[in-house]
Amino acid sequence: MNRATETLRVGIDLVPVAEVAASVEYFGDRYVTRLFTPHEIASCRTADGPARARGDYAVESLAARFAAKEAVVKVLRPIEMQPDWRSIEIHRMTGGWCEIRLSGQAAELAADAGIAELTVSLSHETAVAGAVVVGRCIPRERGEE
Amino acid sequence: MTVDETIRQVLTDHGRLAVSVESLTDDTDLFGAGMTSHASVNVMLALEDAFDFEFSEKMLKKSTFESIASIRSGVLEMTGG
């Protein structure tokens, strides 16, 4: 592998925490389950998250995860298809950091773009949550399927 | 309310646009008018509530929500209108 041929893609997104709180309050579990995987939902239950919560959810954590998903989409650069939000999972590791796990449409987009690795950093304050995602792309060899 | 009136009401309530909904034409780019991806999710859910259906997976693309005209097409396709 020639590392000189590798390229990087960066995606960043910010989400107002109040907007996520309003969505949780208005649409309830339907909002949460349409956007987030069971693992993400479990990670954002108030028992595991900050004290500021709406209902059962730590909304800052949900907002940071949505920002990360949008940042991943910016790295994937879909032309038309918008991958299911749940095909991008922000997976919380035991040590507290997060990794990105793709499935379905998002995994297909990553494969098409030659994205070999994604890494993410999440952050949130009281008002705003954000995430940065870096993707390492390895161009396909000529003739490679 | 008509389909268009309902769409405009949903955009007023959930679109978080930088301009008034009254100023939008059928083809105004809603993302260009300030609608974020997160707001578009809220618009999608509110449309499902208003018209009592669930968008199919193939409809869940940015172009479905990029204008009033494209939303109307999506709604009519899902409701058989």
Q: Closest by alpha carbon to B70, among B2, B5, B7, B18?
A: B7
Asked if residue B43 has pLDDT above 90, the reply is yes
From chain A, the residues in CB contact with B61 under 8 A are 80-82
Is the distance from CB of A11 to CB of A119 less than 8 angstroms? no
Distance CA A31, CA B45 (A): 7
Q: What is the pTM of this model?
A: 0.89
Q: Closest by alpha carbon to A120, among A64, A82, A77, A81?
A: A64
Q: How confident is the prediction along chain A (145 residues), in pLDDT tens digits per residue?
A: 555 689 999 999 999 999 999 999 999 999 999 999 999 999 998 764 444 445 589 999 999 999 999 999 999 999 877 899 999 999 999 998 999 999 999 999 999 999 999 999 999 999 999 999 999 999 776 555 4
pLDDT score for B1: 86
Interval B44-67: pLDDT, tens: 999 999 999 998 878 888 889 999
pLDDT score for A51: 44
Please, where are the H alpha helices in A2-139? 17-27, 29-35, 38-43, 59-76, 104-113
Domains in chain A, CATH or no CATH each: 3-137 (3.90.470.20)
- Compute the Cα dihedral for B35, B40, B41, B42 and give only its sign: positive
ipTM, 2 dp = 0.89
Question: Which residues of chain A have a Cβ shorter than 8 Å from any chain B Cβ?
Answer: 15, 19-20, 23, 26-27, 30-31, 34-35, 66, 70, 73, 80-82, 84-85
From chain B, the residues in CB contact with A88 under 8 A are none
Contact flag B62-A82 (C-beta cutoff 8 Å): yes
Domains in chain B, CATH or no CATH each: 3-79 (1.10.1200.10)
Enumerate the β-bridge partners of residue A8: A136
Residue the block writes with tokens 């008018």: B33
Contact flag B38-A19 (C-beta cutoff 8 Å): yes
pLDDT score for A46: 75
Contact flag B16-A19 (C-beta cutoff 8 Å): yes
Segment B25-44 shows an average pLDDT of 96
pLDDT score for B57: 79
Please, where are the H alpha helices in A52-131? 59-76, 104-113
Helix orientation angle between A59-76 and B37-51, rounded to the nearest 10 degrees: 110
